[in-house]
A and B are shown apart, each in its own frame.
Chain A
Amino acid sequence: DTAVSQTPKYLVTQMGNDKSIKCEQNLGHDTMYWYKQDSKKFLKIMFSYNNKELIINETVPNRFSPKSPDKAHLNLHINSLELGDSAVYFCASSLRDRGYQETQYFGPGTRLLVL
């Protein structure tokens, strides 16, 4: 009965590889997000989808490509991984109500380590 789930939880890979992180929510929310949290613990929003439509696309290298097959899923694919991509990636979801974003619920995070 997990609300927001991410797979994998840990990802260790070599520079130059391509990897994907998957996210699923069973809360019936219409908006999903990807955040990157670096070693200083700053939360940086990367992407946001509302009803499968990209609504936020921050300044992120185009090696990062999100994909939302439906409202309950938001995946993140990363090409040509670099050392600086090492971080914790969080998926989150919320419901848009009367033009406002309601409470965000977060997944457990995916710890990515690029060697």
Chain B
Amino acid sequence: AQTVTQSQPEMSVQEAETVTLSCTYDTSENNYYLFWYKQPPSRQMILVIRQEAYKQQNATENRFSVNFQKAAKSFSLKISDSQLGDTAMYFCAFTGNQFYFGTGTSLTVIP
């Protein structure tokens, strides 16, 4: 069975600090994609970052970067220089033949 686990239901970080959100997954597939989505209070689901499993280089998008450890099946999201607008629910997702979402981590950025 393919699963995605986010073990931190809630996190908080001071503005301008760095925070890391954890995600682990389980699959027997060798090629797949991993994603982080952000859901602010508006409820819109926004793609934050995407990683292809066959690429060893970690993906980065401005202040957002991932630490992809394929052997450990770990895919954490690092947010640098946290901003108030980063306050949101963050979902980790894995896709092979179909999409699987984690249960989410609620991140609060404290002024």
Tell whether A88 pairs with B43 under 8 Å between CB atoms, given A102-B33, A103-B33: yes
* A42, A45, A104, A109: residue with the most chain B Cβ atoms closer than 10 Å: A104
A45→B43 contact, CB < 8 A:
no
> Contact at B43–A100, with CB atoms within 8 Å?
no
In this complex, how many residues of chain B approach chain A with their Cβ under 8 Å: the count is 23
Known contacts A43-B101, A100-B31; A109/B96 CB under 8 A: no
**Residues of chain A contacted by B44 (CB below 8 angstroms):** 106, 108-109
- Shortest Cβ distance from B108 into chain A, in angstroms? 14
Cβ distance B47 to chain A, nearest Cβ, rounded Å? 6
CB contact between B104 and one of A41, A94, A99, A104 (< 8 Å): that residue: A41
- A100: which B residues are within 8 A, CB to CB? 31-33, 95-97
Q: How many residues of A contact B (CB 8 A)?
A: 24
Query: Secondary structure at chain B's binding surface: helix, strand, loop or mixed?
Result: strand
Q: A43-B91, A103-B50 are known contacts. Are A94 and B43 too (CB-CB below 8 A)?
A: no
| Residue pair B39, A41 in contact (C-beta under 8 Å) | yes
- 22 CB < 8 A contacts A-B: A41-B106, A43-B91, A43-B101, A43-B104, A45-B99, A45-B101, A94-B95, A100-B32, A100-B97, A101-B33, A101-B95, A101-B96, A101-B99, A102-B33, A103-B35, A104-B99, A105-B47, A108-B43, A108-B44, A109-B44, A109-B45, A111-B43
